[in-house]
Amino acid sequence: MAAKIMILNGPNLNFLGIREPHIYGSTTLGEIEASCQELAGTLGITISFHQSNLEGELVNLIQSAHGKADAIIMNPAAYSFTSIALIDALKIFEGPKIEVHISNIHARDELHRHSITSTASTAVICGLGPYGYIAAILAAVQKLGKLPDKIPASLHGLRAKV
Task: Give me the pLDDT at residue 41, please.
Answer: 96
Alpha-helical (H) ranges within the chain are 21-24, 29-43, 55-65, 84-92, 131-143, 153-156
% of the chain residues with pLDDT over 70: 94
Q: Give domain 4-156's CATH number out of 3.40.630.10, 3.50.50.60, 3.40.50.720, 3.40.50.9100.
A: 3.40.50.9100
pLDDT of residue 159: 58
pLDDT at 151: 80
- Asked if the model's pLDDT at residue 113 lies above 80, the reply is no
DSSP label at residue 26: S
Q: For position 69, what pLDDT does the model report? A: 98
Residue 74 — φ and ψ, nearest 5°? -140, 130
| pTM for this predicted structure | 0.92
Active site residues: 24, 101
Dihedrals φ, ψ of 130, to 5°? -60, -25
**Residue 147, SS3?**
coil
Question: pLDDT per residue over 17-67, tens digit each?
Answer: 999 898 888 999 999 999 999 999 999 999 999 999 999 999 999 999 999
User: Taking 80 as the threshold, does the pLDDT of residue 111 lie above it?
Assistant: no
Give the list of residues 6+ apart from residue 70 with CB closer than 8 angstroms, or none: 3, 4, 5, 95, 96, 140, 144, 146
